[in-house]
A and B are shown apart, each in its own frame.
Chain A
Amino acid sequence: MILRNLKFALNSAWQSFWRNLAVSLAAVLSITLILILAGVNLLVGHAFSQVLDGFRAKVSEISINVSDDTPLQTVYDFKDQLAADPRIVSVRFVTKEEALVQFRSDPQNAILSRQIDGNPLDAKLDVQVKNLGDVAAVDEMARHWPGVDPTDPTNYQGDFINRMLQLSDWLTLAGAGLLIVLLIVSVVIVMNTIRTAVYHRRKEIEVMKLVGATEWFVRGPFVIEGIMTGLIAASIALALLAVAYEPAVMRFKSDVGFIPLSYDPNFVSSLARDLLLAGALLGALGSYIGVRRYVRI
């Protein structure tokens, strides 16, 4: 009986979608626009998180400068201590000579390196910290280590990192806020569109109720129609976004070169999953709420 009812609901939903094509298309269009906005939000969010990840990788590496008179064994002991710390990913010891080679190999230092006499650079420990938030603690630990160069202990830039962390938090919050607003707006739109469709079919619903249909028997076709509408809208939105994603990134890159945006084809599949799921859920939820007033027996 459940299968028969499901078959009936699917049939009714399909027929109703085509019979009320104008209303159906209006619903598809509304949801498509909302999902495009949501998709753009997700894509922009993803692009920013890519950029932020790049920055994070850079600033979560801290160099601890070693004083010239520190015995090598002390340096190795501290290196081992750091490597055993769960907050730290890796530690690499860079000798004075290697530091000079690194310095000279950077084209930006070409003029400066010609003027250098001897090797004024410190040996250093390059430490990769797991979480950006732990860099300050590692820096603090390094400053208390007796072997550190007291004049220039580390390259840690606390303010910059704190701002980065703040920016990252704000962007996440703004993105989530925008998504919530979009979701609420879309549910309201879908609800009203479906309510219009339901209003056109109120006689049918009245008859259904009078002949003894259960609430779910009446509601089922509308919810399925909502899911169908949502999935169609999500497919359209996804197709448009997928086509526009790469050219948009390229255009942005050429216009705002200093922000290292990049095209990530893998993200399209996760976007597809999110949009299709969101479309189906929005359609179902909008229909469920939209039809409630008429369905109550």
Chain B
Amino acid sequence: MVLTPDFDTKPVISFQHVHKTYPTGTEALRDINLEVPMGDFLFLVGPSGAGKSTLVRLLIREEKPTKGKIFVDGVELGRMKRRKLPQYRRKIGLVFQDFKLLPNLTVYENVAFAMRVLGEPDHKIKARVADALDTVSLSGKEQTYPANLSGGEQQRVAIARALVHAPRFIIADEPTGNLDPATAWEIMQLFLRINARGATVVMATHNREIVDLLRRRVVAIDAGQIARDDRSGRYHDDLAQSQVRA
């Protein structure tokens, strides 16, 4: 099942003339305008250093914009008080290229971690972790430590952790960057399933094959600006491709 985002309703994520310049003077993003409706599946593509990761960091409020406004679920992130930040982050499921698993915790403990910080009771944690591990096909590996898992399995644990608290948004930064093509494809299937359940997915990626195959929304960033925003796009601009071929 593919969830069709409704582009006519009010967006759940909205970038309005967003600029980001780092204290070193590096201008990472320039005048970004982007609207993401509920249930969208959006690929952020572009060369390294284009500004994709900065955009992700702004979205999870690790950074604040230098200029402009970012709204998520009607809340302006730049004006959000620090004490409100944990509540905001609980609405998001985060997946990273380097998995960010805790090596001294088991698979179960790693996934349960996202629920522990919410102060949820043990019986609820147990049920939800079992559910999440089942979704990522890791049932039976609960007591295994991350070091004893393959890269794909580790990323699946990270995805289970990202979705265990049923977040409204999944933000992924190069989630298949460290994986072989077959495993990357398996991981993408998981993201599609999560999206189909209703979560909005924003994914920064370099994986051309996957982007081209899925034909989802593609926002291409180049030199800190949005170069292209296609509702059913490819990794490279079709026009540019045909020009190259010609």
Contact = CB atoms under 8 A, between A and B. Distances in A.
A286 B101 CA distance: 28
Contacts of B114: 211-212
Interface residues of A, number: 20
Contact of A212 (B82, B86, B100): B86
B121 A204 contact: no
Nearest to B104: A19
Contacts of A212: 86-90, 92, 114, 117-118
13 contacts: A5-B119, A203-B100, A204-B102, A207-B101, A207-B102, A210-B100, A211-B161, A212-B89, A212-B117, A213-B86, A214-B117, A217-B117, A296-B82
Interface string B104-128: 1000000001101111110000000
B116 A8 contact: yes
B85 interface: yes
Q: Is the interface of A mostly helix, strand, loop or mixed?
A: helix
A297 B82 contact: yes
A99 B119 CA distance: 81
Interface string A4-29: 11001000000000010000000000
A289 interface: no
A211 B117 contact: yes
B60 interface: yes
A24 to B, nearest CB: 15
A68 interface: no
Given A212-B114, A212-B118, 11 more contacts: A206-B100, A207-B100, A207-B101, A210-B89, A210-B100, A211-B90, A211-B113, A211-B165, A212-B86, A212-B88, A297-B86
B45 interface: no
A4 B117 CA distance: 10
Contacts, number: 52
A79 interface: no
Nearest to B105: A204
A213 B83 CA distance: 10
Interface in A200-252: 203-204, 206-214, 217
A19 B114 CA distance: 21
B94 interface: yes
Contact of B94 (A208, A211, A217, A296): A211
Nearest to B162: A211
A212 B86 CA distance: 4
A1 interface: yes
A90 B118 CA distance: 69
